[in-house]
Structure formats: structure tokens, C-alpha cells
């Protein structure tokens, strides 16, 4: 019982494995294929104490700031090399922005842009257009107002804060994971010594 991993951590690692592309899958992506030589380095696919937090932060920043799925994957793949970030973790973290969360991210970004930088983008208009299923032309006119700079500035703030928080949470998670591995090894070594000691007394 004591050697089991907590269910929440096991579920998290399983989710990351399911949503992280393999190296072969990423190489076959039409957006990434022209840059395959840059993202095929083995150190970008290793799970280490430095690469995992960096991959988490990179994936969260790119996933929120660039809301287009193809752009997200390409952004993580290209930026992983200079930042020495883990590509599978980064790719998995981009799933934070998805069809369910994107409207909330956009609304929060516009609100931040309005209140911090003094833009006059109408968040209420955004919500109304979303509910009514606005046309492409209506969305374009809305963006050509103060909505575009408010959205971009708000997205930058949210993505940056989320990336910083994700970085430190990933570091805590990784350090705790390593400590638990060492504790399991120490318990196993102690159990083995206890078993050998008991066996010696029995034989004697």
C-alpha cells in the first residue's frame, strides 16, 4: 500500500501521455515537418527537472496567447529548442485552450485590456455576439475597434501569469515526484534488509 503513487498524480501523468504527441507523430505534422531538423533533438524529449517546468510554461504561454491549434503546435516545437523545453509536455499544456475555455479566455483578455490599458472594447458586445452566433463580418468589425489591442494585451498578461504559475507548480510536482521515488527505494531497501535479517535468524 505504501509504495503506491497517489491516484491524482498517476491520473495527471496518464493524461499527459495521452495528449502528448510522440516524436514520430510530431514529425508527420504538416506544420512541423519543414522544421523537423530543429525539433528532433533527443534532449527536447527527455523528462528532466529543468525541461519539464520549461515545457509546462512554454505550452501554457503559447496555448493561451496563440489560440489556433496549428500555430500552437508549431510555436511549441520551434520555441522548445532555444528554451530547452520538453516538447511533449509543452504540446500537452496547449490543450488548456480549447473550444470550451477559449470564449472565457477571450472575454477575460478583453476585460483586462479595457481595465489595465484603458481600451474601450465592449465585453458585453462580445458576449452578445457569441450568444447570437455573429457572422465573420461582425467579428471583423468588432476586432477593428479597440477590441484587437485589448484582446492582445489581455492575452499576453494571462498567458504570462499562467506560464509563471505553471512553471513553479511543475517544479514542485517534479521535486515531490523525485522525493517519493527515493522514499520508495529506501523502503524497498529497508524491506530487503529486514527480509535478509529474518532469513539469517531462521537459518541460524
54/6: higher pLDDT: 54
Q: In 3-state terms, what secondary structure has residue 165?
A: helix
Per residue in 164-199, pLDDT (tens digit) is 999 999 999 888 888 888 888 778 777 777 766 665
In whole angstroms, what is the distance from residue 44 CA to residue 32 CA? 14
Please tell me the predicted confidence (pLDDT) of residue 156: 94
Written as one string, the DSSP assignment of 97-156 is SSTTTHHHHHHHHHHHHHHHH-----HHHHHHHHHHT--HHHHHHHIIIIIHHHHHHHHH
Range with the lowest mean pLDDT among 10-14, 57-61, 97-101, 151-155? 10-14
**Given the C-alpha cell 501523468, which residue does it identify?**
13
* pLDDT band at residue 46 under the 50/70/90 scheme: confident
In whole angstroms, what is the distance from residue 80 CA to residue 74 CA? 10
Q: Give the rounded percent of residues in the chain with a pLDDT score beyond 90.
A: 22
Mean pLDDT of 69-88: 87
In whole angstroms, what is the distance from residue 12 CA to residue 10 CA? 5
Q: Give every CB contact of residue 46 below 8 A, 6+ residues apart in sequence.
A: 86
Is 90 exceeded by the pLDDT of residue 159? yes
Is 80 exceeded by the pLDDT of residue 60? yes
Query: Average model confidence (pLDDT) for the chain?
Result: 80
Per residue in 90-145, pLDDT (tens digit) is 988 998 888 889 889 988 988 898 888 777 776 677 777 777 777 777 777 777 77
Is 50 exceeded by the pLDDT of residue 1? no
Q: Give the rounded percent of residues in the chain with a pLDDT score beyond 70.
A: 81
Amino acid at each position: 500500500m505504501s509504495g503506491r503513487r497517489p491516484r491524482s498524480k498517476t491520473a495527471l501523468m496518464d493524461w499527459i501521455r495521452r495528449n502528448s504527441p510522440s516524436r514520430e507523430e510530431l514529425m508527420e505534422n504538416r506544420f512541423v515537418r519543414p522544421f523537423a531538423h530543429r525539433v528532433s533533438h533527443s534532449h527536447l524529449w527527455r523528462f528532466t527537472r529543468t525541461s519539464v517546468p520549461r515545457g509546462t510554461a512554454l505550452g501554457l504561454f503559447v496555448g493561451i496567447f496563440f489560440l489556433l491549434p496549428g500555430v500552437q503546435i508549431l510555436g511549441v516545437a520551434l520555441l522548445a529548442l532555444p528554451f530547452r523545453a520538453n516538447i511533449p509536455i509543452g504540446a500537452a499544456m496547449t490543450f488548456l485552450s480549447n473550444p470550451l475555455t477559449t470564449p472565457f479566455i477571450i472575454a477575460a483578455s478583453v476585460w483586462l485590456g479595457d481595465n489595465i490599458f484603458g481600451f474601450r472594447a465592449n465585453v458585453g458586445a462580445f458576449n452578445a455576439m457569441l450568444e447570437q452566433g455573429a457572422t465573420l463580418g461582425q467579428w471583423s468589425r468588432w476586432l477593428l475597434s479597440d477590441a484587437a489591442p485589448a484582446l492582445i494585451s489581455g492575452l499576453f498578461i494571462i498567458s504570462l501569469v499562467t506560464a509563471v504559475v505553471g512553471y513553479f507548480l511543475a517544479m514542485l510536482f517534479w521535486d515531490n515526484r523525485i522525493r517519493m521515488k527515493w522514499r520508495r527505494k529506501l523502503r524497498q531497501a529497508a524491506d530487503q534488509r529486514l527480509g535478509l535479517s529474518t532469513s539469517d535468524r531462521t537459518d541460524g
